[in-house]
Amino acid sequence: MSKPVLNIADVPVQEAGDGAGFAAKVGSFGKLIGSTGLGVMLHVVEPGKKAFPRHNHHQRHELFVILEGEGTYRFGDGSYPVKAGDVCAAPTGGPETAHQIVNTGTAVLKYLGISTMTETEVVEYPDSGKIGVVSRFDWATMSGGVRHMFRKSDAAIPYHDGET
């Protein structure tokens, strides 16, 4: 087993986002400290930016702990100011649990995302009408398994389409 202790300052991070409104440094480190049932990710977000689009999970429960800075927690149809020391819940569900943290402050916003681990997940993005399906995907190498994004408006195909 790896060492069960890691300082936040030592979490390896990588750039994530689209370089425009979505830009953050993120580091997933649950596995680094031996966690198998909970995922933990550090998010470092500059003013005016977001790490991820607003979304809701079908299987994965999340919890966010604000470490530094301030921002806005979008949850369902509401918006809530957040600052260092605040904890935000993001249970599974539909659009009523869709969530996103936006750095609306003037300094860096740093927070932890803690989640249950699921091998298979469906994620909805109510602002854009997208759906993501993920199963057995390796986030560290961004490979393997299944990872597919589509829009709810995409035409459905019959169950037996293409089968012989």
Strand boundaries in 84-160, DSSP class E = 87-90, 99-102, 109-116, 120-125, 130-135, 146-151
Q: Do 31 and 4 meet the contact criterion of CB atoms below 8 Å apart? A: no
Kindly state the average pLDDT of the residues 149-154.
91
pLDDT score recorded for residue 27:
93
Is 0.85 topped by the overall pTM?
yes
Please list the alpha-helical segments (H only) found in the chain: none
Share above pLDDT 90 across residues of the chain, in percent, rounded to a whole number: 81
The encoded tokens of residue 137 equal: 């995907």
pLDDT score recorded for residue 140:
66
Kindly state the average pLDDT of the residues 131-159.
88
pLDDT score recorded for residue 138:
79
Residues 40-89: tens digit of each pLDDT: 999 999 999 999 999 999 999 999 999 999 999 999 999 999 999 999 99
The encoded tokens of residue 47 equal: 């003013």
Question: Which of these CATH numbers, 3.40.50.10420, 3.40.1080.10, 2.60.120.10, 3.40.640.10, describes 14-118?
Answer: 2.60.120.10
pLDDT score recorded for residue 6:
94
Kindly state the average pLDDT of the residues 136-160.
86
**Amino acid code (one letter) for 117:** M
The per-residue pLDDT of the chain, averaged, comes to 94
